[in-house]
Amino acid sequence: MIPMTLADIAEVVGGRLVDVPDADAVVTGTVEYDSRRVGPGGLFVALKGNRVDGHEYADKAVAAGAVAVLGSRPLGVPTIVVDPDPDAVVEGAELYDNDGDGAAAAVLRALGALAHTSVTRLVDRTGMTVVGVTGSAGKTSTKDLLATLLAPLGPVIAPPGSFNNELGHPWTALRADETTRTLVLELSARGTGHIAALARIAPLQLGVVLNVGTAHLGSFGSRDAIAEAKGELVEELPSADRGGVAVLNVDDPMVAAMAERTVARVVPVGQSTLARVRAVDVRLDGAARAEFTLVTPDGAAPVSLAVHGEHQVGNALAAAAVALECGVEVAEVARLLGEAVPASARRMDVRTRADAVTVINDSYNANPDSMKAALRALATMSRGEPAHGVPMPARGKRRTWAVLGEMAELGPDTVVEHDAIGRHAVRLDVENIIIVGVGRSTRAMYQGAVQEGSWSGEAVHVADADEALELLRAELTPGDLVLVKASQVVGLWKVADELLADAPAEKSGTEGEDRA
């Protein structure tokens, strides 16, 4: 963030200085809520969570060099105290305030106010551009692509992984400083009003809406409600005459309809002829990497993506549209799209072992849309040649394994959606389907696979990751393909990590390295 005195911070967040010997002491370092990351000149944010109270680590943070602590009570060290208000509402704070005293909400509100001040001052002083991305799927992949495409313009700040909620969002915004040219942010929602609140913390100039799917369906109740929430992003954009730009995926009718909800200039993207930035002649290689012609008002250029899955085309188009709006040339956009690789862990991370077994680790999160996209990528990759000289099986495709776990937060549609995924895997001719976990959701996924036509033991239901690993270790043969996919809460990445540890892995993205 910009350097600020403790007195200035206290004024911005509506707090009071306690045990502060010098109100003019300046915070010049980073703002951290993990005391282990605090360094000299930093500010430690003491957040009371359900399991850990950050206030208990204030002494360690100050000893590590923090100028002060931002907390909800005096701590015996220099502290900016924001008093709890049990009646105050901060979107998302319910995840922290178990006892309802408002302490976490007060600190989160203060953190957001600090981020807002830092970002708006940077925009005014340096002309920094703020870009926001939302959607039911693809936010993190698009954010990673944007960080690559915008780098030629100057330093880019983007969240590591999916720091896209009421805590990670302001924390990311506070990473920006006077050198930052572009701030790229993800915005997520568990309910109505969440995205609007995040967008006000760091006011956007450019906003991207990727899609409206069924992620968090249990929280919202319907896709219409999800669309209402995602559209909050474009409602918060400035008008066209003030530089506001809304990049909308017109291949999704619910996203296309959001053009009526914004005063910003709309840039439609997609494969539709209605798109201003579009992909034509899309095709996939044997590693499920898309090749297409990028068509824009400023010219066209061939693109060969390095990331895996046809769903990445939409993400690439959205990122390309933003980069073009920011001044990157079409040819440069196409070149950089071809170089961009996954920067966030466990998202379509494709690695091939020395025995040509390929592991697709997409285990960070899952919803019905992303699950289907990953399964389609698996099916496409099965038609590509194995690595390391391993011959293609006589049947003309590599043997596929889908290790699938629960998709969380689907509410009343849980059973139906899991059943549909089991059926979808069978329809894509995935030979081996390992359903991991106990409970009605994974049982429904297994039953869906069996009823669709997996009658000869292709689909199995196991209790946990260890049982899945035992089965895979006994059955995998050179050249096999393994997809690992589930919601984050399942922790199914253990399967991918241990499979790769079983044999030396080549570099990421080796699958199908030779391409025309």
Nearest one of 427, 431, 404 to 496, comparing CA atoms: 404
Of the candidates 313, 296, 134, the one whose C-alpha atom is nearest the C-alpha of residue 207 is 134
Report the pLDDT value the prediction gives residue 190, as an integer from 0 to 100.
Answer: 81
pTM: 0.88
**Cα–Cα distance measured from residue 358 to residue 65, given in angstroms and rounded to the nearest whole number:** 45
Total Cβ atoms within 10 A of residue 179: 11
Q: What is the pLDDT along the chain (516 residues), one digit of tens a residue?
A: 999 999 999 999 999 999 999 999 999 999 999 999 999 999 999 998 778 899 999 999 999 999 999 999 999 999 999 998 777 667 666 666 666 778 888 999 999 999 999 999 999 999 999 999 999 888 989 999 999 999 999 999 999 877 888 999 999 999 999 999 999 999 988 888 999 999 999 999 999 999 998 766 666 778 899 999 999 999 999 999 999 999 999 999 999 999 999 999 999 999 999 999 999 999 999 899 999 999 999 999 999 999 999 999 999 999 999 999 999 999 999 999 999 987 778 888 999 999 999 999 999 888 999 999 999 999 999 999 998 899 999 889 999 999 999 998 888 889 999 999 999 999 999 999 999 998 899 999 999 999 998 767 789 999 999 999 999 999 999 999 999 999 988 989 999 999 999 976 554 444 444 343
Q: CA 270, CA 257: separation in Å to the nearest integer?
A: 14
Between CA 368 and CA 486 the distance in angstroms is 10
Cα–Cα dist 397/30, whole Å: 51
Spatial contact of 390 and 480, defined as CB atoms under 8 Å apart? no
Any idea which residue has 């090749």 for tokens? Answer: 291
Q: Which residues contact 444 (CB under 8 A, 6 or more apart)?
A: 414, 415, 416, 418, 419, 422
In the chain the domains, ranked by start, together with CATH numbers, are: 4-109 (3.40.1390.10), 128-339 (3.40.1190.10), 349-502 (3.90.190.20)
| Furthest CA-CA distance within the chain | 77
Using the Cα atoms of residue 194, residue 198, residue 204 and residue 209 in order, give the sign of their dihedral: negative
The DSSP annotation for 286-319 comes to: TTSEEEEEEEETTEEEEEEEEEESTTHHHHHHHH
CA dihedral 88, 122, 161, 60 (to 10 degrees): -70
DSSP-H helix ranges across 183-309: 194-201, 217-220, 223-230, 232-235, 253-256
